[in-house]
Structure 1
Amino acid sequence: MLSDKEQKKEFKKIASKNPEKYYAVGYLKKEGFSRKQCSKCEKYFWSVNNNQKVCGDSVCSGGFRFIGNTPAKNKLSYLDVWKEFSSMFKKFGYTPIKRYPVVARWNPTMEYTIASIAAFQPFVVSGEVKPPAKKLVIPQFCLRFIDIDNVGITGAHNTGFVMIGQHQFVERKEWDQNKVFGEIHQWLRKGLGLPNEEIIFHEDAWAGGGNFGPCMEFFSRGVEIGNQVYMMYEQTPDGNKELNIKVLDMGMGQERCAWFSQGCATIYDAAFPKVMESLYKKTGLKTDEKLMAKYIPYAGYLNVDEVEDLEKAWKFVASKVGMDVSLMLVGVIILGF
């Protein structure tokens, strides 16, 4: 069988050739979005801005551009993100449920719960076990040790974080992709207070836990706010097969949402303001605010999961900050965070 990365790459090619089948094209067009191809990475994306030439990814669009200048009209604290999200989606007919354990003892494909959908893999997703509710939202605490190398560097990653999940486990006749996409769009518009001009949707694919399907990522000013996956298939030794039920898997970082809405320097300042204050007080360390103001907008270029040549990426960021790369490494890693 293909690895998750290989499966994602292969299915993305298929989905890109037939967007009407795999994405909420009807809803997007109704809202004034049009399909474009990024002039840098060649990814397909949707925007209402006629002159938009690049996608929403930080590397293509010029880094994080919301720091100190967020377009979100609603400034949400870390706790408020879940409160507002669950309240809105309860009105949409979703049932808010409590999180699952972080040790995924029910899941033979992984040791730790790495995403909200992992709480329901493999047996709920396969249709063998009934879900707690057909339509639910969950604030799932996740552990991702693969992100350790990004923690403290990108300003956007945590080893442990809360993934807010919007999930459906429904019969095929009950599935309405335009509707579920419209619901997350309403969160962006009314929950965060973003105008359509500040939202870019990316066509993509996702694979994990033996399942895969198309997905739509949503970006604003260089940061990915979340990703809505339409889980359609299961990988088996005998080949790919369509799932018995339709599965919606939207994941959005609670910390990242708070960070974006507040427009503060790092995700840690948004999620752990009291902890950060206490750490600075006890250690006597101070953030070099001038350095961080130059560095953070380009920190997304250093994501080890996305960058092929990390040394080259550090040199590029150093040139933007206006420092020798060795001095910047000391300043960012030791003094900055």
Structure 2
Amino acid sequence: KCGQYYWSTINAEHCGEPACSGGLTFINNTPAKNKLSYIEVWKEFSSIHKKLGYTPINRYPVVARWNPTMDFTIASIAAFQPFVVSGEVKPPANPLVIPQFCLRFGDIDNVGVTGHFCGFVMMGEHAFVAPKEYDINKYLKDHLTWLNQGMGLNNDDITIHEDAWAGGGNFGPCIEFFSRGLEVSNQVYMQYELPNKELKIKVLDMGQGHERAAWFTQGKPSIYECVFPKVIEKLRKSTGVKYDEEFMTKFVPLSSYLKTDDTPDLDKAYNDVAKKLNMPFETFKNKVQEIAALYSVA
């Protein structure tokens, strides 16, 4: 539908992006066989990767004081930029996995609406090796092992996109893993320093949202209910804002259409989704904003 090239083990009719697949269709219909709580996600992720030869390490600070190019750690790979990625400093383990807390402020307007966060944990798979030791096939296989065994996701339910990713002064080609409208993870094969200098070493940079993994495997309408259940329960008692499961079940699969950076006319997007839900524009918008306010506080 969108012209995106993609790969699938079955004869898939679309690329898996929410705009092409009809929204987030995993809601109340997740293909993941393993239902993981927020806490269980990292335990399973680190356990499986440890068996694959990766060393789990503790997260780095969220203030990137070692990096002169950024104020905050925006991704798990940022913990190792610029000096480990450049080959000047050895990593604390190799390969490794890390539950890195990150801050990103570009999604402030999406928090509470589309399932985005300003502060989140990125689970990273990382390796820093000489070019002759760089094995993309192994890295891809390792990540599929986590998706298959850890999350219980069958390959037939995964659509793969080829793309490129840049961040923290480095870039490389990447593979994005989609399932039922959600980008589950992204594995970057980091090989260059901006603007066009080849790195001395080659780097594996897979990042997956910890919160997103819990949400996807549980298949609940709200990612925030999966991550902050106790906090939100208390906020509901304090504010009187009630959880409308029927509304959330219908709205959340379409919430990606309201992502601000993908939507030039936000009111039109709200109106389009309101029509799909057979709700008046103002009623729908007010309800979404009330819910978003509660989740933003959480």
Separation (CA, whole Å) in 1 of partners of 2:50 and 2:272: 45
Alignment pair present for 1:171 and 2:134: no
Shift of the alpha carbon at 1:313? 2.0
2:202 maps to which of 228, 240, 246: 246
Quick check: 2:112–2:291 contact (8 Å CA) kept in 1?
A: no
Separation (CA, whole Å) in 2 of partners of 1:43 and 1:204: 10
Secondary structure of 1:245 counterpart? strand
Q: Which amino acid aligns with 1:162?
A: V
What is residue 61 of structure 1 aligned with on the other side? 21
Q: Which range moved further: 321-330 or 107-116?
A: 321-330
Runs of 4+ in 1 over 3 A off after TM superposition: none
What is residue 42 of structure 1 aligned with on the other side? 3
Q: Which range moved further: 309-318 or 227-236?
A: 309-318
- Cα deviations across residues 48-104 of structure 1 (Å, max 9, x unaligned)? 122x22111111110011111211100000011000000000111111000000000
Aligned-pair identity (%): 63
Using structure 1 for the length normalisation, give the TM-score.
0.84
What is residue 5 of structure 1 aligned with on the other side? none
Quick check: 2:158–2:177 contact (8 Å CA) kept in 1?
A: yes
Using structure 2 for the length normalisation, give the TM-score.
0.95
Alignment pair present for 1:318 and 2:279: no
Quick check: 1:288–1:335 contact (8 Å CA) kept in 2?
A: no
Q: Which amino acid aligns with 1:138?
A: I
What is residue 213 of structure 2 aligned with on the other side? 257
Shift of the alpha carbon at 1:324? 2.2
What is residue 191 of structure 2 aligned with on the other side? 232
Quick check: 1:148–1:158 contact (8 Å CA) kept in 2?
A: yes
Where does 1:3-82 land on structure 2 (aligned, <5 Å)?
40-50=1-11, 52-82=12-42
What is residue 209 of structure 1 aligned with on the other side? 168
Secondary structure of 1:305 counterpart? helix
Alignment pair present for 1:273 and 2:233: no
Alignment pair present for 1:290 and 2:249: no
Separation (CA, whole Å) in 2 of partners of 1:221 and 1:242: 36
Separation (CA, whole Å) in 1 of partners of 2:288 and 2:260: 16
Aligned length: 293
Q: Which range moved further: 160-169 or 287-296?
A: 287-296
Quick check: 1:213–1:231 contact (8 Å CA) kept in 2?
A: yes
Separation (CA, whole Å) in 1 of partners of 2:229 and 2:153: 24
In the alignment, structure 1 segments of 5+ residues that lack a partner are 1-39
2:86 maps to which of 122, 126, 133: 126
Separation (CA, whole Å) in 2 of partners of 1:127 and 1:325: 54
Secondary structure of 2:116 counterpart? coil
Quick check: 1:118–1:209 contact (8 Å CA) kept in 2?
A: yes
Shift of the alpha carbon at 1:43? 1.1
Separation (CA, whole Å) in 2 of partners of 1:95 and 1:285: 43
What is residue 220 of structure 1 aligned with on the other side? 179
Shift of the alpha carbon at 1:290? 2.3
Shift of the alpha carbon at 1:335? 4.6
Separation (CA, whole Å) in 1 of partners of 2:4 and 2:162: 7
Shift of the alpha carbon at 1:153? 1.1
Shift of the alpha carbon at 1:108? 1.1
Quick check: 2:23–2:253 contact (8 Å CA) kept in 1?
A: yes
Shift of the alpha carbon at 1:288? 2.3
Where does 1:136-151 land on structure 2 (aligned, <5 Å)?
136-151=96-111
Alignment pair present for 1:303 and 2:263: no
What is residue 194 of structure 1 aligned with on the other side? 153
- Cα deviations across residues 119-154 of structure 1 (Å, max 9, x unaligned)? 011111111111111200000000111111110111
Quick check: 2:222–2:248 contact (8 Å CA) kept in 1?
A: no
Q: Which amino acid aligns with 1:181?
A: L
Separation (CA, whole Å) in 2 of partners of 1:309 and 1:232: 37
- Cα deviations across residues 229-261 of structure 1 (Å, max 9, x unaligned)? 00011114xxx1111001010000000100010
Q: Which amino acid aligns with 1:68?
A: N
1:330 maps to which of 286, 289, 296: 286
Quick check: 1:46–1:202 contact (8 Å CA) kept in 2?
A: yes
Secondary structure of 2:271 counterpart? helix
Quick check: 1:292–1:332 contact (8 Å CA) kept in 2?
A: no
